[in-house]
Chain A
């Protein structure tokens, strides 16, 4: 699992102090020391991640087989059903609900992350410029991100109620919180409002480490604003942006509280996989609830792996360390020089 990547940066300080070639072997004592230092972390991770995961997978193989006896009392037993809980994800009523929730989850993830990225980039570009009141703008942009999701859900619920301000401003009579496309739109708007600042701030941090000389050089070569954006800002900010997008995607995939509070539980238009798992466990069907949770976990894991492997998202920041950093900068510089040269 990705737990290993989480612990990877730990030996970093040693490397930083004493840069070592790739082939240098570790002394046995060093390895033991590292293992000892890491063991509390690993233990906690095993306790809060590995154990619940295995337990959830185990639970998803069982199903409560309850019935009523003649006096109306529940006769309960738990039967091992193998993969039946998973098979049920694709047939009948439960299958319909699962596919609907799966579709919603994917739809929300794609749309919100896309909008957030575009908006976040714009925010970062705006904040990156030197102008009066910049620090005030930066602080104010953070506000939506600081509001707890459940609270922002309530806030938007007021905005979107039938006689709320959204309808007043639009002059419309849209029932945002009823089943239908409008409720999807309401969730997307509220989610983007809340999380675009997150991407904005991360990207801003990435932009601020781009050296000013690169831009000066580009200016001297006659590159306009758009050219600078496309050839300098975006390529150099890409590693940060990818991390931000990855974080947002994984977060969006387990979206729960916003649709729950804003639109309400049990509304199929906005039901996500997390909500479905909650609903199942609320109805004491722990087997299928676990199956939903496991599927969601696999989905999230696949997305994470694809992102890290294919797009080369640098989650741990390892590439940006030491020599590599300079090298990549040099690469970029040569690349942009090449770009200039080809003009």
Chain B
């Protein structure tokens, strides 16, 4: 069985191409069955020695610095940084392949927050002891996103939340004192602003509505902002509720009323940035990484100094952001679990998070770091981001996340493009999600 599993890895990536006769075939083969042991893996973090840290790239070099510091202090338990491809899909695939063949190469895994449930439920990562992270000092949503069924499986490394960018100059010109907190206020503000001569041809708002993970993010935020949820704590779908309908209708009506630019169904983060930066929209939902390029004063941004940020709008008050970011977890198949746990504690400690802030703009999981004046001076969006994160909720925490997000994208896209009405789309989405969660 083990042998067969090894073949699996080779096969999955094999694209067999019959050259001379040019008959080609994509072969995906293999299996990774083997019924899982039922014993609780919480067992023991034992064994000291060198380990591998598998992660996405950190272009800032901040993670490398942390690792260097650890290696200098622990010459017998050196950590090696293994870099995975940039594409999240490929990262996930490599991590899963290694888990399925129970390879001991990967010790500490850097996981996207949405993979936590899948990896935890498959026992590809170990439950962590309570004292692994100082949960009370971290932003609650980040700990929530690292938890599966009330058990902590990951240590929050960095996080991300939505920001609501708005054109402060236009708001001022229209005589609006405070940025809108709800969708109704935003609509009212838009009516005033779009009547201004300097706002001719502009649209009101945009998020990311291309059929992509970003649509799942925007849909989840809309539903949560309207008081609903996509799935409950058990992972059972709840999109057949009145709140979910209200949430989806925010997006559907936005397109119907012409509040959103009609080409927003092709927008990802980058297209949204350009639309805002070129002065095509008044309001924009996007991630904090935009802040730097929008405020660039070298002439590349038409909105430098003319915009500001706040929390995304909801129906009755501020909206609910989804959570991005990454967690660190320990593979149960590695030999030196003791070192792995110690390294995670070290790496995700407040001290290291603070040191990394000097190089990296990735948002830390520790609330206190957002209020440090030195940090805020460098990253002015941090206080607003903290507000957003304090009110944030993870995306659906489900084991079959891939199938879930696909179903959400398909139905939400059908609704916003007018192919289905809101009720049909949500009924179909509920049915699809029920089928997925029943598996």
Binds B, one of A116-124, A224-232, A293-301: A293-301
Chain B: minimal CB distance from A246 (Å): 7
Chain B residues within CB distance 8 Å of chain A? 7, 11-12, 14, 16, 18-36, 38, 89, 93, 96, 120-123, 148-149, 210-212, 235, 262-263, 265-266, 271, 274, 399-400, 402-403, 406, 409-410, 413, 417, 432, 439
In the complex, whether A193 has a CB less than 8 A from a CB of chain B is: no
Report, nearest first, the 7 A-B pairs whose CB atoms are least far apart.
A6-B20, A162-B263, A2-B21, A78-B33, A55-B29, A297-B25, A52-B27
A177 touches B28 (CB 8 A): no
B121 touches A73 (CB 8 A): yes
In the complex, whether A27 has a CB less than 8 A from a CB of chain B is: no
Beta-carbon contacts under 8 Å, A124-175 to B: 161-163, 173, 175
Chain B: minimal CB distance from A276 (Å): 10
Contacts of B400 in A (CB 8 A): 283
In the complex, whether A251 has a CB less than 8 A from a CB of chain B is: yes
Residue of A nearest to B210 (CB): A264
Binds B, one of A58-66, A103-111, A199-207, A209-217: A58-66
A53-B12 contact given A6-B18, A6-B19, A71-B149, CB 8 Å threshold? no
Contacts of A175 in B (CB 8 A): 262-263, 265-266
Binds B, one of A83-91, A284-292, A319-327: A284-292
Chain A: minimal CB distance from B99 (Å): 11
A293 touches B27 (CB 8 A): yes
Residue among A49, A274, A279 having the largest count of chain B Cβ atoms under 10 Å:
A49
Chain A residues within CB distance 8 Å of chain B? 1-3, 5-7, 48-49, 52-53, 55-56, 58-59, 62, 64, 66-69, 71-78, 93, 161-163, 173, 175-179, 246-247, 250-251, 253-254, 256, 264, 266-268, 274, 277-284, 286, 289-290, 293, 296-297, 300-301, 304, 308, 315-316
Task: Please list 8 pairs of residues, one from A and one from B, whose beta carbons are closer than 8 Å in the complex, sorted by A's number.
Answer: A6-B20, A55-B27, A72-B399, A175-B262, A179-B417, A266-B211, A281-B12, A284-B402
A316-B30 contact given A173-B263, A179-B211, CB 8 Å threshold? no
A74 to B48, CA, bound (A): 29
**Contact residue among B14, B23, B121, B235 (Cβ-Cβ distance under 8 Å from A300):** B23
A300 touches B21 (CB 8 A): no
A68 touches B25 (CB 8 A): no
Contacts of A268 in B (CB 8 A): 410
B25 touches A53 (CB 8 A): yes
Residue of A nearest to B35 (CB): A77
Residue among B20, B26, B28, B93 having the largest count of chain A Cβ atoms under 10 Å:
B28
A264 to B409, CA, bound (A): 13
Residue of B nearest to A60 (CB): B29
Contacts of B406 in A (CB 8 A): 266, 279, 283
A289 touches B28 (CB 8 A): yes
A300 touches B29 (CB 8 A): no
Contacts of B120 in A (CB 8 A): 72
Chain B: minimal CB distance from A242 (Å): 12
A253 to B122, CA, bound (A): 36
A161 touches B31 (CB 8 A): no
Chain B: minimal CB distance from A310 (Å): 15
A277 to B26, CA, bound (A): 8
A5 touches B20 (CB 8 A): yes
A277-B28 contact given A77-B35, A266-B211, CB 8 Å threshold? yes
A301 touches B23 (CB 8 A): yes
B20 touches A315 (CB 8 A): yes
B417 touches A52 (CB 8 A): no
Contacts of B274 in A (CB 8 A): 163
B402 touches A283 (CB 8 A): yes
A251-B24 contact given A74-B36, A162-B263, A286-B30, CB 8 Å threshold? yes
**Contact residue among B148, B266, B403 (Cβ-Cβ distance under 8 Å from A178):** B266
A6-B265 contact given A56-B27, A74-B399, A75-B36, CB 8 Å threshold? no
A163 touches B417 (CB 8 A): no
Contacts of B399 in A (CB 8 A): 68, 72, 74
Chain A: minimal CB distance from B313 (Å): 25
Residue of A nearest to B148 (CB): A72
Apart from A5-B20, A66-B439, A78-B31, list 13 A-B contacts with CB within 8 A.
Answer: A53-B27, A55-B30, A73-B38, A76-B35, A177-B266, A178-B265, A179-B413, A251-B24, A268-B410, A277-B26, A283-B406, A297-B24, A300-B24
Chain B: minimal CB distance from A183 (Å): 10
Residue among A55, A279, A290 having the largest count of chain B Cβ atoms under 10 Å:
A55
Chain B: minimal CB distance from A215 (Å): 32
B29 touches A52 (CB 8 A): yes
A56-B31 contact given A74-B36, A161-B271, CB 8 Å threshold? no
Residue among A247, A256, A264, A316 having the largest count of chain B Cβ atoms under 10 Å:
A264
Residue of A nearest to B437 (CB): A68
**Contact residue among A62, A69, A256, A283 (Cβ-Cβ distance under 8 Å from B31):** A62
Contacts of A304 in B (CB 8 A): 21-23
Chain B: minimal CB distance from A182 (Å): 10
